[in-house]
Amino acid sequence: MYKIIKKQSLNPTVTLMEISAPAVAKKAEPGQFIILRTDSEGERIPLTIADFDREKGTVTIIFQIVGATTEKLNHMNEGDSLCDFVGPLGRATHTDGLKKVAVVGGGVGCAIALPVAKKLHSLGCEVHSVIGFRSRDLVILEKEFDENSTLVKKMSDDGSWGEKGLVTDALRSLIESGEKYDEVITIGPLIMMKFVCELTKEYGIKTIASMNPVMIDGTGMCGGCRLSVGGKTVFACVDGPDFDGHLIDFDEAMSRGSMYRDFERHKYEETCNLFRKEVK
pLDDT tens column, 74-108: 999 999 999 999 989 999 999 999 999 999 999 99
Query: Residue 1 — pLDDT band, cuts 50, 70, 90?
Result: confident
The mean per-residue pLDDT over the stretch 233-250 comes to 93
Q: Which of 17, 22, 12 is nearest to 45 (CA)?
A: 17
Q: Which domains does the chain have, with CATH numbers?
A: 2-89 (2.40.30.10), 93-210 (3.40.50.80), 213-260 (no CATH)
Residue range 159-204, pLDDT digits in tens: 999 999 999 999 999 999 999 999 999 999 999 999 999 999 999 9
| H/E stretch holding 201 | helix 190-203
pTM above 0.75, yes or no: yes
SS3 sequence of 88-121? EECCCCCCCCCCEEEEEEEHHHHHHHHHHHHHHH
pLDDT at 270 over 60: no
pLDDT at 268 over 50: no
Query: Residue 208 — pLDDT band, cuts 50, 70, 90?
Result: very high
> How many angstroms separate the Cα of 222 from the Cα of each of 31, 74, 215, 219, 225?
21, 27, 8, 8, 8
* pLDDT for res 67: 83
By the 8 A CB rule, do 24 and 84 touch? no
**Average confidence score pLDDT of the chain:** 90
Share of the chain above pLDDT 90, in %: 78
* pLDDT for res 217: 75
pLDDT at 60 over 90: yes
Residue range 116-138, pLDDT digits in tens: 999 999 999 999 999 999 999 99
* pLDDT for res 263: 52
Instruction: Provide the residue type at 216 as one letter.
Output: I
* pLDDT for res 274: 54
pLDDT at 247 over 90: yes
Of 109-113, 181-185, 222-226, 232-236, the least confident: 222-226
Query: Residue 18 — pLDDT band, cuts 50, 70, 90?
Result: very high
Query: Residue 220 — pLDDT band, cuts 50, 70, 90?
Result: confident
Rounded Cα distance between 162 and 131, Å, is 10
* pLDDT for res 168: 97
- Residue 248 carries which DSSP code? B
